[in-house]
Amino acid sequence: MNQPLQLPLIDMPTTHVFPSTRFQGSKRKIVDQIWENIRDLRFDTVLDIFGGTGAISYRAKQAGKTVIYNDNLVFNWNIGCALVENASVQLSDIEVETILQRHNDVDYPQFIQSTFANIYFTDEENRWLDTVVYNINHDLADTRKQALARFALFQACIIKRPYNLFHRANLYMRSAEVERSFGNKATWDTPFDVHFRNFAAEANAAIFDNGRKNIALNLDAMETPTGADLVYLDPPYLNAKGIGVDYRDFYHFLEGLVHYDSWDSMIDYRSRHRRLFPQASIWNNEKTIYEAFEALIERHRKSILVVSYRDDGIPSKAALVNLLKRYKSQVQVVNHLYKYALAKRSTNELLLIAQ
Ligand SMILES: C[S@@+](CC[C@H](N)C(=O)[O-])C[C@H]1O[C@@H](n2cnc3c(N)ncnc32)[C@H](O)[C@@H]1O
């Protein structure tokens, strides 16, 4: 007798695991909580407008959805290319070792060594960075391999930084006696090579094909394509005092790494920590953020809208709910998704689901 055809249950978690990251604002730790709240909605395509590390896009990919990842920073877009768009390509051990070696026939540039001395990394580490960035750009022909290697590079840079950011010239913290009790000195001092190999292995293990054509975009939120069944919005958070998270400023060094040849012209040399020239953002200003939400929600009003925010920011929870109610008949509020353990005052992650 013929057995009935067993269709694979696509909503995995598969054996493929989303890599670790210390990127600020990543939903990695609460992605399953978020997914529990939206998994039963009727949708097949997902647009993740503020993709960041890709944690939500990746979860949607695991669930067998067609995913469009987006982020306006080029370095983040590389992460989307590596982990969401890429269905099959991995870095071989030989490729990893080739990237990590200095080649005798190459006259390596020294931009990071000369521009960032004593700011974020040691001289030896800066030399390593100049070498590896060059090798990634020249040794790997496949853009997906380059994106994977860059993922490993970014995570290695983040994990070796006090606070995991590039907001201050504070290399001294890694060695100062007074700071011994702070952070993880062993992690900071672990050589780049070691971190890079670990993150490359994590990225390789995360690659899978969900049978869909997923893509990664590098657009401003307001230019993202309409028409996805479900649109997920996780914009930068602006607190009640009007202080926001400027991702381009916090991670300017990583954005510089992906613009290596033009980085010099992007740097604001008046700043001691060699940031990029600032760019104003409507998401980072209390006078404009409400209108930004309004315009983006209006743009994607035909889709199911899922918004992550915090319950003590600008706009307020009530303002966001009212805004969504202008376009959607049903707005569900999920409170207390997660408590930020390190925050001085506990602040709650909020999920708004509007259909
Ligand atoms: C809160 S984080 C998103 C985190 C993401 N959900 C994750 O799990 O990693 C906000 C992201 O929005 C991006 N972003 C900021 N302004 C943007 C804009 N105008 N258009 C598109 N992306 C933007 C930032 O680069 C950052 O990665």
Q: Is the CB of 76 under 6 A from ligand 1?
A: yes
22 located within any domain = no
**H helices within the chain, ranges in order?**
31-38, 55-62, 74-80, 93-100, 111-115, 123-139, 143-159, 185-189, 192-206, 247-250, 252-257, 263-266, 289-299, 317-327
Q: What backbone phi and psi angles, to 5 degrees, belong to 300? A: -110, 30
Q: Is the CB of 52 under 6 A from ligand 1?
A: yes
pLDDT at 173: 82
Q: How far apart are CA 115 and CA 138, in angstroms?
A: 22
83 located within any domain = yes
Decide if 276 contacts 73 (C-beta within 8 A): no
Low-confidence ranges of the chain (pLDDT < 50): 1-9, 340-342
Per the structure, the count of domains in the chain is 1
Dihedral of CA atoms 337, 339, 340, 343 in degrees, nearest 10, equals 130
Pick the atom of ligand 1 nearest to 237's CA.
1
148 located within any domain = yes
The pTM is what? 0.93
pLDDT at 196: 98
- The rounded Å distance from CA 231 to ligand 1 centre is 14
160 located within any domain = yes
15 located within any domain = no
pLDDT at 339: 52
269 located within any domain = yes
Task: Give the structural domain span for 204.
Answer: 28-354
290 located within any domain = yes
- The rounded Å distance from CA 54 to ligand 1 centre is 10
Q: Is the CB of 283 under 6 A from ligand 1?
A: yes
pLDDT at 322: 98
129 located within any domain = yes
Q: Best of 71, 78, 289, 347 to mutate for ligand 1, by most ligand atoms within 8 A of CB?
A: 71
pLDDT at 171: 85
- The rounded Å distance from CA 89 to ligand 1 centre is 25
pLDDT at 333: 96
Pick the atom of ligand 1 nearest to 235's CA.
10
143-177 pLDDT, tens per residue?
999 999 999 999 999 999 988 889 888 888 887 76
122-137 pLDDT, tens per residue?
999 999 999 999 999 9
pLDDT at 1: 38
